Structure formats: C-alpha cells, structure tokens
Structure 1
Amino acid sequence: MMAAGEVKSVLFVCLGNICRSPIAEAVFRKLAIEEKVEDKWMIDSGAVSDWNVGSLPDVRALSCLRNHGIETSHKARQVTKDDFLTFDYMLCMDESNLRDLKRRSNQIKNCKAQIELLGSYDPENQLIIEDPYYGNDEDFETVYQQCLRCCKAFLEKPH
C-alpha cells in the first residue's frame, strides 16, 4: 500500500497519443476520481512517435469517451527522457510500443519507470490493445472496454 501523502504516477503510451493512450488516460482518471484517489495519482499519456504532437485525440476517440460520459482535453505529446525518470509506471498498448520504450529506457541512467503492457492487467487476458486508427467506431469501443478492464485491475493492485 502507499504511504500517506505519497503520489504514484502512470503514463499511458501508444504510437501517436491520439487514440489508445488518451482513452486509457481518461478512463484511469475517471476511475481514480470515482475511487476518490485522484490526488494520489499523477496521470498522463504520451506517444512513442512525434507525428501528432499538439493534436487533440482522434474525433472517434473523443466520441467514444463522450458516449461513456468522459471528457478529455489532452493534447498529444511525445514521451521524453524525463518521463523515464519521473513516472512509476509506463503502460503501453502493444509489443512495438514496448520494444521502443525498453530500448529508450536502456539509454537512460536511473530509469525509474516500470515499463509494461497495459494489457498485462486484463482479467480477460487480452494482452494487446490494437490500434483502432484504421478501424471503425466498434474498434474504438473495443479499445475503451479493454482500457476499462485493465485500468480497473491496475488501480486495484497494491502499489
């Protein structure tokens, strides 16, 4: 368990930070608020690539979140060297993200972040959260449901 006043931090990561990771970030924030632990968490999301820096999430991601009563004003950003030093957890969506993050973390002294697949927390064992970018609304809903299951399980585990 966490000591009183101790803040934990989690960074959700995907390729472009406009579909999967902002959904995960928004879902986790809502769960933290519902559990009244939002002041115990620093929550953010970022991208492996620099393709969408400064952009709002994909309209389909925003619409999917809105369907579940969640708003987000997140703007895409790329993961920085500092993220590896400040975040306790970096939870990413697929093997390619995992490889990229691990490779970068190897070049950083005193890397603090535990780098894992968000799907490793899925009670339904869906390890990979597939990129819905080239898919349809149903694919975004699938991402949402996976993020919801994983974030719940992650939040419930002792940190």
Structure 2
Amino acid sequence: MSYAVVRTGRPPILEDYRQHLLFMTAKHDVSVLFVCLGNICRSPLGEGVLAHRLEQEGLSDRVRVDSAGTGAWHQGEPPDPRSTDVAMRHGITLGGRARLVRAEDFQEFDHIFAMDRANLRDLGYLESESDGGATLSLFRTFDPDPDGDLDVPDPYYGGPDGFDLMFEMVDRTCAAFVEHLVSELST
C-alpha cells in the first residue's frame, strides 16, 4: 500500500488495516488494482510507483490504488525487502500488507492490472464469478516499449538485477498509464 502509516501504538498489521479501510471508503473518480502472484514484489511496486506518479501530477485524491495477489502464501506480510529497497532508491515508499484478490474487487475497481499472463488467466476465472465491471488487462498493455512481451517477470527467485529491471518496466508503464488517466479524468 502506498499510504502513510500513522503510529498509534497499535500492532502494525491492525494499523495498516485501519488505514486501508479509511483509504478504501474515500470517494475517488478512478480506481486501480495491481495483481501479481503473492502481492509482495510486483503488485506492491506497481501500486507504490503509480501512487507516487499520481501525487506528482496532483491526482492522488482522484485515483484509488491498491494491490492484491492470486495466491495466499504471503497474506498479511509486508512487501518483499528487495522491492522495498528498489522503490526507496527511487524515492518511493512501499507499505501495507499482502492480501488475496477477491471477486468483489471486480465491483470495487475500474482497472485491474495483471502483472503476467498466469495472473491474467487466474483473474479471468475469478472475474467469471463476479458481477463487476472492471476492465481486466495485462499491466504492460500501456508500456510504450514492451519488447514483444507484456509480462512483468517475477523477480522473487532471482537477484537484484531482476528487481531493477522490474522497476524500469513498472515505472515506464506507470508513466504511460498516468498520461492515459489524465485524458480519462479530463472527459
């Protein structure tokens, strides 16, 4: 999650959840959900980078951004330290806890971005159980330089170079998506 956590003496997971509820119930013009496998590497980075770029454009109060995973292995855990590190090197703070994507997310979000084709397939099954109207697509559909591949590779089992490459892809694609959002919000 990309919101700031206010320290109140509560356990961090409860404070993150309280902040998440406040954020989710606020009114926004557009909502975006990033989804990867475990919600600890790619999707929290997508959420953080997009939130950062929206803040720079003065649009953070108009766009709700969140992330989730298709698998529950890391549910309740913070983002992977390697994703947090690459984000911090670019002035972006990641926060929040991993959560599982739900059928209700298709009702609550306008755009749901899968980070790879396997995530897209899994989300397609979940979408069929939903009455929602979210637009489901591969995130890198907005990448101006996709090199013929629309997947954001999962860097989990690799080294630091994979996280740097992931950041470059996510940042470049978020920049292009923000341009799209500016157009969408001005109509």
- TM above 0.5, one fold? yes
Aligned partner (choices 127, 145, 156) of residue 124 of structure 1: 145
CA–CA distance in structure 2, aligned partners of residues 70 and 44 of structure 1: 15
Match of 2:93 in 1: 71
Contact residue 31 and residue 64 of structure 2 kept, 8 A: yes
TM-score, normalising length: structure 2: 0.80
Tell me if 1:17 matches 2:45. no
CA–CA distance in structure 1, aligned partners of residues 112 and 84 of structure 2: 22
Distance apart, 1:6 and its partner CA: 5.7
Tell me if 1:99 matches 2:121. yes
Structure 1 unaligned blocks of 5 or more: none
Q: Deviating runs (4+, > 6 A) in structure 1? A: none
TM-score, normalising length: structure 1: 0.93
After TM superposition, the structure 1 = structure 2 runs for residues 23-62 of structure 1, keeping only pairs within 5 Å, are: 23-62=45-84
CA–CA distance in structure 2, aligned partners of residues 137 and 102 of structure 1: 31
Match of 1:136 in 2: 159
**In the TM superposition, what whole-angstrom CA distance separates every residue of 1:40-79 from its partner, at most 9, and x where no partner exists?**
1010000011111110011111111111111121210011
**Helix, strand or coil: the match of 1:37?**
coil
CA–CA distance in structure 1, aligned partners of residues 178 and 107 of structure 2: 21
**In the TM superposition, what whole-angstrom CA distance separates every residue of 1:20-42 from its partner, at most 9, and x where no partner exists?**
00000000000000000001101
CA–CA distance in structure 2, aligned partners of residues 144 and 124 of structure 1: 14
Alignment length (residue pairs): 154
Kindly report the root-mean-square deviation, in angstroms, between the aligned alpha carbons of the 2 structures.
1.2
Structure 2 unaligned blocks of 5 or more: 1-26
CA–CA distance in structure 1, aligned partners of residues 83 and 134 of structure 2: 26
Match of 2:111 in 1: 89
Tell me if 1:152 matches 2:186. no
Residue identity (%):
38
CA–CA distance in structure 2, aligned partners of residues 91 and 6 of structure 1: 18
**Helix, strand or coil: the match of 2:32?**
strand
